[in-house]
Every structure is written in structure tokens, then in C-alpha cells.
Structure 1
Amino acid sequence: MVKLFAPNTRTEFVDLVCGGVSIVAASRRVGAAHPTGLRWWAQSGHMMTVSMGFVGGLADPAPSVEGPGRALGLAERGMIQMGLRNGLSYARIGALIGRDKSVVWREVKRNISADGVYYASVAHTKAHQSRRRPKVLKLLENEALCRLIEVWMDDGWSPKLISEMLVFHFPDEETMQVSHETIYRALYVQTRGSLRADLAEKLSMKRKQRVPHTADRTKNSPYKEAFKISERPAEVQDRAVPGHWEGDLIIGSGGTAIGTLVERSTRFTILLHLPGDHSAETVAEAMIREMGHLPDHLRRSITWDRGTELAHYGRIQTALETTLYFCDPHSPWQRGTNENTNRLLRFWFEKGTDLSTHTPEDLRQVAAKLNRRPRPTLNLETPANRLNQLLQTAA
């Protein structure tokens, strides 16, 4: 004959064990057999016991009083338990304990038991033991993982991108996955990992804050008759149609510069070699030369800043059979794709350095590296692959 227990009997049993009472003693107190207690404990969210086995209590019970603080305390978890038993919503429970409903939702999801019940004492003890348990540092134990991270960082990859690509390449190997926060900690606190000490320098763009241009640059502007960015068709904004580009210059010391062009839908990048100067004549020749290799449907439009380097925009439009649009004054965010790409390019072309030392072949190699780099915005595909797909479709 199956013995029936009051609804709160199992909760009382779990609370006793979490408080340090042995499973045998807790079973006796609530009037349950030892095997029943073992089954209840296993279903509630099994935690470590003392060395004598299941007849002992928890090796490290949580203190009965904690908080209030950033972490949930036992009293708050008790309110969550009571609210769930009474059918309250996460939002209502959160309001009762002064927490956001998302905090309650995550707490319940993290600690729901095998029998589908939330036990406050189990959740509280788990949280306590998790905080005290020594964490295994993957970067101290996995040399292969460290070497792979170093290779990618040498190519200018960010810790965030590296973390995502580790999951992509090693979906079933947790030992080859690490969060970007762990990589940052290993870079700045060398005792937390075994990455090369000089890798921290790869993170710094060495960029100073931009100085706003206060002079009136609209007077005698060559762009009075040019198309404004507000006149661009909708297909440019939503990236639905390929062939729309954004461009700008990366400026170095002594007036040296490199031109950058980025296709909005694929993020494919073209670099313009500008020997000697970045005058309107030089930029126009470089742009016509490099973009002239593209098929017509991949040069529908170009959006540029209002710098004087594009004063010959009429000549560029005619030669490339495209349309040039210009941003509003002092509004670089209107070319967000190009601005983000220029930030990545600063890994190779540091601000304040002489950019004229880079040959056309150097620029091709850097562009190839960037175009082979997986992009989260492309679902971890590369700009080169996306562009090749467009070229094959056209062919």
C-alpha cells in the first residue's frame, strides 16, 4: 500500500537536509521511510553529502541568513517558492520581493527540480556551494586552446569573436570553449591564464578622442548640388539589395592616408592605395581603378563623408556609372558600416603612423585577411564568401 503524504511533507524534508540534517534523520522526522527520503532527495536536485554517504547531511550547508544584497537570500527564495505554490506570476513575485521579474524567471529556470518543483532551500544551498567551489581555469590547463586564441588575436580578432568561433568550430567540446570575459581576465591578470603577455596590446586601438570640427565647412562647399544621404533609396538602408558602398579615409601622420570602401550587405572591403597625398584627383583615380573591376550591379551607389577628397565626385559617378550620396556635416554615424570597418583596420594601420609605407600589395593582403574574417552580423560567414555568392549568381 502506497503511503500518502501531506503536500508540504516533501518540502519540509528537503529543508531539513539542506539545513544539515542527515537524510535518515530527516526521513524519520517527516514520517517517511529511508528509501522514500533517498528518492525525494534525488528528485529535488542532488548535492554533495558528507563522507559517510547518504546517511549524512550536506558537507557545506548554506547559512540560514543572507542578504539583502545583489544575490537572492533565503527569505527571498522562500517568497518565490510560496508565490509559485499559490500560482502567482513571475512579475507579481518580483514585485513582492523587490526584484525584476526576469530575476525570478532565471532563478526558477536554473533551479527547477526533476519533479518540476522549485525548492527554496535547495536553490539557496546550490548557490552557496557554487560560489565556494573552486573554478577550473581552462586557460591554465589547455595549451591547444591558448595557442588557437593567440593565432586569432594576432590577426586582430576580438575576444568576443573568438569566443563565438570556438563554439562554432567545437560545438561538442566544452574544453575548447571559453567566454570572452575569461580571455580578457587572462590578458590583464596573467595569473588567470597562460596567454602571451603581449596579447593585451592587440586590444588597444591607440585612438584618442576625436576633436570636433567647429569651422564652417559648408561655405563654398563643392557638395551643394550633390545628393544627400536622405535621398538614398530605401533598399540601401535595409541592405536588401547588394552593391551599395560606404567610404572614407584612414588618416596617418604627415597627411598620409588610405581609402576604405565597404559593401553594406556583405561587409566586403576594398582598400585604396593613395601614394603621396589624398587629394581629390588621387582619390578619384584610385576609386575608379579599384571599383572598375566590379560588375555593374555591385556598384549601385557610394556614400561618403563631406571631405574635400571627393570633390571630383561627378567624374567618379560618370566613370563608374553609379550614384554618390553625402552624409550630413559632422555625422560619421551615418556611415556606420564603414566606421566599424575602419576601427577594425586600425589593428594594422595605427593612428599616428606613416601610412605611406604600406604598398599596394600590403593593402591587398590586409583586405584579404579582413574579408576572410567571420562576422557575427553575417551569421559567422565571411565577406569574401558572401561576395563570391553574389558573383556566381550573376554569372
Structure 2
Amino acid sequence: MVKMFPEGSRSSFLDLVCSGLSLQAAAGAVGASGMTGTNWWRQSGGMDFRAPRSGGGLADPFVDGGQDGDRALTLDERGMIQFGLRTGHSFGQMAKEIGRNKTVIWREVKRNTSADGVYYASVAHTRAHQNRRRPKGFKLGANDALCYLIGVWMDDGWSPKLISKMLAYYFADDQTMQVSHETIYHALYVQTRGNLRANLNQNLSLKRKQRVNPATRRASSSPYKEAFTISDRPAEVEDRAVPGHWEGDLIIGTDGYSAIGTLVERTTRYTILLHLPDGHSADEVATAMIREMKLLPSHLLQTVTWDRGTELAEYRRIQTALDLSLYFCNPHSPWQRGTNENTNRLLRFWFEKGSDLSGHTAQDLRRVASILNNRPRPTLGLETPKHHLTQLLTAA
């Protein structure tokens, strides 16, 4: 028969453990057995103890030192989050009561909800305190059981990534027996890090003597390693005083295959749409760009700024055909093409997110571009991009 405990027993038990009591003492205080307390802790806490077998408390219990103006959440604030979740408050309501942005509340709940699916303020506060600790303890430094299991699986030819996934599967309720594949690699290639056997890296399929940095491997295979970056772009591009500097991107359809290319001139906001009926490979995008931009006068072909998508891997061909310079944004930095991002947002009126873009013909794209280029823009003093471009062409 399963013993039923009063509501709040587990939460009280976790509060006591996080304050420094041993599992045995905290379980006895709420009327539970040591085994029940151990199971509760594995499901909800999972942090290390000084000496678990001798009944010691947490290795590094929290000290509530949060003060006004401190970026870190205090224990009181986490207690308010716990209460708000129990009573059905939204993240926005809790944020208003605590005086924090609701994104902070959402991240806190996502990061520190325990394995049993419940948020406990004391556990979250202790975990956050230990995660801020410097220098950090190494997870494979004192866990002999975890090191032994990793060694057994590696002897059977398992990769660190597979081992990490299977640890998470078999020990879903015990965070002390979970580790990332990067931590395993680090222990294999950096001696004195952890208790793994010194020669265990020979069980890896590639048998490298040194680890290849994943970031270095990605950079070496990038088609843009010799291309100009946005930091190389001329200063005149920033102030928009000189026309002929363009920003480009793709709008991708819901199928991941259909796409429309967008090019926007920074000074006039004049927009060109690229018809890509057969996909958006590097060859198809380059062909479309050259076809459309060759219709422009040479003084309006100065530079193009694009992101690092593989669709522009044939940038050298584009530069040669159009006699212009191509610059690439930093990774994950769409704001560096702000004009293009804003234009794409306007274009979603005709090309909705989640829609199939393959049904739009070249004539459809010319019609939409014409509508957009004849639309008054506040940034141009309510002039239209077409009128602004015509003025520049007339002056030239």
C-alpha cells in the first residue's frame, strides 16, 4: 500500500534539505522514510552532498544575499513564482507583481523546473547558487559510478553523444548521472579532468589524439571564410548618402523548398523580388540576382550585404558578373540588414508565413514589387521608393 503524505510534504522536505539538513533528517521531519526522501530528492533536486553516506547536508547550500537592484532573483522572488504557478497566475501577472520582465520569469521556470514537472523555489534557488559558483566543480571528477558506466559503454564502441542520450534516458530522474557529450570529450582529451581511463579516447571511431574544436571545423568548411564581412564595408554605406548599396535575403516557404529572393536599396528602399521557381540553391539564386540586377545602371551597383546562408555560396560569380562587392553579416545577426528585415515584414502581407510560395509567378512578384515601390514611406518624407529612385536617376 502506498503511503499518502499531506499536501506540501515534499515541498517542505526540499526546503529543509536546501537549508542544510541531511536527507534522513529532512525526511524524518515531514514524517517520511529515508527511501522516500531519497526518491523525492532524485526527482526534484539531484545536487551533490558533502558526504551522502554519512548523512551530511548539501555540499554548497545557498545563502540568500539578493539585494535590491541585483540582477539575480532572490529566494523571496522565487517563492512568489512558486506561489503564482500553484495558483494559476500567468507569467505576465507574476512579472508585474515581482517587478521583473515576464521573459525573466519564463526563463526561470523553464530552467529550474524539476524532473517531476514542479517548480520548487528553494531547489531553484540552490541550483542557481551552485551554477554561479566559480570555479565550477567537474561532474566527472568525483562520480565513480558515472565514470565506470561511460567506460563500459565506450568499450562497446558507443560515442559520447549516444552515451549522453542514454544516460538521460536511463536516469531521467537523477541529474547526478547525466552529463553532456562535450563534458565527456573534455575529460577524454584534457588529462586530470575526471576519472576516465587515460587511453579511453582510443575507443572513439576517429581515434584522434587531439579534439578538433567544433567551431574551428565549422569555420574551415564555410564557403565564406575568404569573403568580406560587414566590418569591411565602406563607411558611406551606413549614412545612406550614396545610393547603390543593397541588402538581400530569402523569404522561405512552409515546405522549406519554395522561396522568394528580396533585394532592397538602402537609400531609396527600392525593392527587387527574385523569382526562384526551381528552388533556392546557390546556382539558382546567383542566376536570378545577376538577371535582375543587370538591368540597373552601373552607379546603382556598389555593394550587396547578405547573411551567411548557403544560398549565396556563389558570391564570387555574382561579384564578377555585376562588378560589385558582396559583404556578409556576422552569424545570427539579422539586425545588420535592418532595411531588408523591415521590408520582408511588409512583404508578409502578400507572402504569409507558413504558406507555399511556389505558386507565385514572376508576374506576381513584379506586381507586388510595384505596389511596394509606389507606397509612401515615412522614412522618405512620405515619398515613394520609385519616386526617390527616379530623382536619383534623373540627377545622374
- Category of TM-score, reference length = shorter chain: 0.3 to 0.5
Q: TM-score, normalised by structure 1?
A: 0.45
Structure index of larger Rg:
1
Q: Given the two structures, how large is their TM-score scaled by the length of structure 2?
A: 0.45
